[in-house]
């Protein structure tokens, strides 16, 4: 980033701060390593969390390695992490929703302008401000950029803190803050309901949550994968059928039969075969984000009045709704728990899709 960028040239605040241990990427080519970061002391509406668990999202890897430099260039040092579950250790004098000792969660955002039409509609993820993301966003309090959940402590305005339902495994609940809401929001927005036929393309960190959520909503769930060996796991997670998408005969059996398909794949792939599976007025929604444009035949859209759409996480109100839904249905992510010292190994394995289905860091290993 150039020196004139407003993120890096913002003057530091004189606010009181404290030091917190963290893991950061010093540059795009160096491994994450222990460091010390500044956190602000809690203000009147802030809550301070002792971070207990933090999920490892593929976005963390992209951001740490500056793979989105054309649209979201990384400022270093970068402390990733936006799937955070913690315990409240301090609250500001005006905080009403949380008390010391409560469990709380923080997802992909820590602030927004709160006044634009999107914010007024409880869709802070589309804030025109724009939204302040949990890491690598301009820090309005201290200057520089925000630091995420790969740290022992986090301070956030109570309006962007969420309640964790009783009974959920805390480590397994952490990925709900990104993988959960990323898949719940489009299922909810496009009205998935009991009796509908829903497809899930890809069975990774996002896909496995989509299967669980769609099943809990009462849909008939079909998983599309290029890996036949994933069939047994897909059924265990709640799929009613599994289709190997590279087998044309299997795909042909489902032509024109889906109400909704959620595509979670970030690799380049052909969307046209999936468009052909939709019913009239059906929708294919992308939550995976390939870095190369994907060609789509216009005829696949106009014959059947079908829709190709996209979705991005969810607002704070909807994220709380998702957490409550997961609490009611006992849903958490399938995880592999790791100490923070293994984060670079986890990144390498993530590149190879060698995880079922989400790494979660036990942050006690940092203290």
Paired tokens of 261: 């398909």
pLDDT at 137: 96
Are 196 and 165 within one domain? no
Domain ends where: 295, 310, 325?
A: 310
Together in a domain, 32 and 168:
yes
Give me Rg for the CA atoms of the chain. Answer: 21
Is 102 within 8 Å of 89 (Cβ atoms)?
no
Residues 34, 148 within the same domain: yes
CA pair distance 161, 177, nearest whole angstrom: 11
How confident is the model at residue 2, as a pLDDT?
A: 32
Is the same domain home to 149 and 185? Answer: no
Same domain, yes or no: 163 and 238? no
- pLDDT given for residue 165 in this prediction: 96
Evaluate whether residue 128 is within a structural domain: yes
Q: Please tell me the distance from the alpha carbon of residue 255 to that of residue 261, in angstroms, as a whole number.
A: 12
Residues 345 and 7: their CA atoms lie apart, in Å, by 30
Torsion angles phi and psi, residue 310, rounded to 5: -135, 160
pLDDT, residue 11, reads 42
Query: Rounded distance, CA 243 to CA 201, Å?
Result: 10
Domain that residue 352 falls in: 6-178+333-366
Q: What is the pLDDT of residue 4?
A: 32
Residues 292 and 190 grouped into a single domain: yes
The per-residue pLDDT string of the chain (367 residues; one tens digit each, 9 = 90 and over) reads 333 333 333 444 445 999 999 999 999 999 999 999 999 999 999 999 999 999 999 999 999 999 888 778 999 999 999 999 999 999 999 999 999 999 999 999 999 999 999 999 999 999 999 999 999 999 999 999 999 999 999 999 999 999 999 999 999 999 999 999 999 999 999 999 999 999 999 999 999 999 999 999 999 999 999 999 999 999 999 999 999 999 999 999 999 999 999 999 999 999 999 999 999 999 999 999 887 889 999 999 999 999 999 999 999 999 999 999 999 999 999 999 999 999 999 999 999 989 999 999 999 988 8
**316 in a structural domain:** no
**CATH number of residue 262's parent domain:** 3.40.50.720
Collapsing DSSP states into helix, strand and coil, what is residue 258?
A: strand
- 27 and 122 co-located in one domain: yes
CATH number for the domain that contains residue 362: 3.90.180.10
Place of tokens 């701060």: 17
**Number of domains within the chain:** 2
Looking at the fold, whether 284 and 196 belong to one and the same domain comes out as yes
Amino acid 72: pLDDT = 85
pTM here is 0.93
Q: Are 170 and 240 in the same domain? A: no
Do 245 and 343 have their domain in common?
no
Let me know whether 231 and 149 are in one domain: no
Confidence at residue 69, expressed as pLDDT on a 0 to 100 scale: 82
């Amino acid at each position: 980033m150039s020196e004139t960028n407003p993120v890096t040239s913002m003057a530091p605040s004189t606010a009181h701060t404290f030091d917190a241990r963290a893991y950061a990427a010093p540059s795009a080519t160096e491994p994450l390593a222990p460091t010390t970061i500044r956190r602000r002391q809690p203000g009147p509406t802030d809550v301070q969390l002792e971070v207990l668990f933090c999920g490892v999202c593929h976005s963390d890897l992209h951001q740490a390695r500056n793979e989105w430099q054309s649209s979201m260039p990384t400022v270093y040092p970068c402390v990733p992490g936006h799937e955070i579950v913690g315990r409240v250790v301090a609250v500001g004098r005006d905080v009403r929703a949380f008390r010391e000792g409560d469990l709380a969660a923080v997802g992909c955002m820590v602030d927004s302008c709160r006044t634009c039409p999107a914010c007024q509609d409880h869709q802070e993820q589309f804030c025109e401000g724009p939204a302040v993301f949990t890491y690598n966003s301009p820090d309005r309090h201290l200057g520089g950029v925000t630091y995420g959940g790969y740290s022992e402590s986090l301070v956030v305005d109570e309006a962007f803190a969420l309640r964790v339902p009783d009974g959920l495994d805390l480590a397994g609940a952490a990925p709900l803050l990104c993988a959960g809401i990323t898949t719940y929001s489009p299922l909810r927005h496009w009205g998935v309901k009991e009796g509908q036929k829903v497809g899930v393309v890809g069975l990774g960190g996002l896909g496995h949550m989509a299967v669980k959520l769609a099943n809990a909503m009462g849909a008939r769930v079909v998983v599309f994968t290029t890996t036949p060996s994933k069939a047994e796991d897909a059924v265990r997670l709640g799929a009613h059928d599994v289709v190997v998408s590279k087998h044309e005969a299997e795909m042909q059996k489902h032509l024109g039969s889906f109400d909704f398909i959620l595509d979670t794949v970030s690799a380049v792939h052909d969307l046209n075969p999936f468009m052909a599976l939709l019913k009239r007025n059906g929708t294919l929604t992308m939550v995976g984000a390939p870095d190369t444009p994907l060609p789509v035949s216009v005829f696949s859209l106009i014959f059947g009045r079908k829709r190709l759409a996209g979705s991005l996480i969810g607002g704070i109100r909807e994220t709380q709704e998702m957490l409550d839904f997961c609490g009611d249905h006992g849903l958490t992510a399938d995880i592999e728990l790791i100490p923070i010292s293994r984060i670079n190994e986890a990144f390498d394995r993530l590149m190879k899709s060698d995880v079922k289905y989400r790494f979660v860091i036990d942050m006690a290993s940092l203290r």
